[in-house]
Amino acid sequence: MVSSPPNLSKLLKPLYELIVNNFLVLVVVPFATATVLRQAVQLGPGELLSWLHGLRQVHAFLAVFLPVALATLYLMSYPRSVYLVDYACCRPKPNCRVSMASFTENLRCMPYFEDRAFRFVTRMLQRSGLGDQTYLHPSLHDIPPRCCLSSSRDEAEQVIFAAMDDLLAKTGISPGDIDILVTNCTAFNPTPSMADIIINKYKLRDDIRSVHISGMGCSAGVIALEVARNLLQAAPRGARALVVSTETTSLINYTGKNLAMLLPAALFRMGAAAVLLSTSRSKSKFRLTHIVRTLTAAQDRAYRCAYQEEDEEGQTGMNLSKDLVAIAGETLKANIVTIGSVVLPPSEKLLFALSLVARKVLGKKIKLYVPDFRTAFEHFCIHAGGRAVIDAVQSSLCLSEENVEPSRMTLHRFGNTSSSSLWYELAYIEAKRRTRKGDRLWMVGFGSGFKCNSAVWECIRSPSDTTVGAPWADSIHQYPVNI
């Protein structure tokens, strides 16, 4: 049997990356060292010693003091780092679990569901990527559902308190040690606020700085991270910030006939995440390196692609446009242009620049080089908004099935839990023991507006063996599954 010749590009690219990414070490430093040595040899020992004796003390002092002073000023002005101490994701109670069969059976019994709507939702569920172990609040198991303020409050308290209890157990801190609280939920915006609900339950300090974010969609978790980071950098060193991300499914249940407004009720499920951040590196797991936010709300098409409104009969729901996936792709491209400039290695930046120049010179027939983000990140957490969204991101970034596995498995096991889905995906990666010290992780969230928000983390400590509150503890052995 004649073996096929090896792909030349696959053999040359590692060599190219080695040379370009280490250009300073491989080329500049040896060249500079050789130049200095050559000049020293030409001068000779006698001339070199006389030149050194001729230097004034002030010159020597400036040569030492000035670099040290400049370095100190730079470090003092540089924003202090923010670290992820730990996080916890809620695994709702077993009585909240809803299989596909029971979900569709309930739909068939709903008095407001016509045959056309039933067939549409059933077809969407078959293609959705959701499994049989997702969760809905008990009020949505009733026929017809009980969508009211009390059920929404009960759902929020269930998932938030469960995540909070697990986080406090994992970290061992007391509620009084929390200095900053940031919460986010799009649909449910009660009075008192969600932040006040947590403060009342856990008796947090009177001087805590609290913020609640609403109406920002599924990418609000990254926005909450940015708010917490900014507050931490202005707080005393060692301060702690708590970020709680969730969504309330009982308020997005739609009972009308508009097909586009039926999708959220079919895809969204119960979930919440509690995240503890600090400016202290001690006992932390990840360091937050970058946050990049892209907003396209100035464009009417993007602004209305996920729009809460009333239908012709006055029923309120979330209208998802047919352009949603296309707009998500366009917003992602704008986001990766910014984040790529700070995370990609020089070898990928150079290839992209060369392809851009060639396209300018030779015309649009030249295809732009798509940077390989796998050279910048070991792990990817892509918002589990739906199978089509994950497919679009995978195609745009040329990711492998293993790269998007956390997103697909999270969608299958927990459904679309909105802004908290990114943390369920990180929990999946850690449950599979895939993170190592030095690994880089990219979180990508999409939300109404339309927004694409990214957060980049660097692993500074390998995960421990603790399984307190781990959302995958009862099912990780079953994954990955074929979808």
Please, what are the averages of pLDDT over each run of 10 residues along the chain (483 residues)? 47 63 62 68 64 60 68 67 96 93 87 84 90 92 84 95 96 96 93 96 96 94 98 95 94 83 88 97 95 95 92 87 90 91 89 82 75 93 93 92 97 96 96 94 94 96 68 94 88
Q: What is the pLDDT of residue 391?
A: 94
Q: What is the pLDDT of residue 168?
A: 96
Q: What's at 467, amino acid-wise? A: T
* Residue 104 placed within a domain: yes
**Antiparallel, parallel or unpaired: β 97-98 and 440-447:** unpaired
HSE-up (13 A, CA, CB side) for residue 360 = 6
Cα–Cα distance measured from residue 93 to residue 96, given in angstroms and rounded to the nearest whole number:
6
Q: What is the pLDDT of residue 6?
A: 47
3-class state of residue 168 by DSSP:
helix
Cα–Cα distance measured from residue 290 to residue 286, given in angstroms and rounded to the nearest whole number:
12
Cis peptide before 236 (omega within 30 of 0): no
* Residue 140 placed within a domain: yes
Contact predicate 456/440, CB 8 Å: yes
* Residue 426 placed within a domain: yes
Q: What is the pLDDT of residue 259?
A: 86
Q: What is the pLDDT of residue 233?
A: 95
3-class state of residue 236 by DSSP:
coil
Chain position carrying tokens 């947590």: 198
* Residue 234 placed within a domain: yes
CB atoms within 10 A of CB 183: 27
Can you give the residue range of the structural domain that contains 134?
82-462
Domain count, the chain: 1
* Residue 121 placed within a domain: yes
Nearest C-alpha neighbor of 261 from the set 317, 324, 188: 317
Q: What's at 426, amino acid-wise? A: L
Q: What is the pLDDT of residue 358?
A: 83
Residue 415 is part of a domain; what is its CATH number?
3.40.47.10
Tokens, residue 437: 């010290």
CB atoms within 10 A of CB 107: 18
Radius of gyration (Cα) for the chain, nearest Å?
27
pLDDT in tens, 423-438: 999 999 999 999 999 9
DSSP letter, residue 413:
H
* Residue 7 placed within a domain: no
Q: What is the pLDDT of residue 250?
A: 80
* Residue 59 placed within a domain: no
DSSP letter, residue 454:
E
Cis peptide before 192 (omega within 30 of 0): yes
* Residue 117 placed within a domain: yes
Nearest C-alpha neighbor of 125 from the set 248, 250, 269, 247: 269
pLDDT in tens, 302-317: 999 999 899 888 888 8
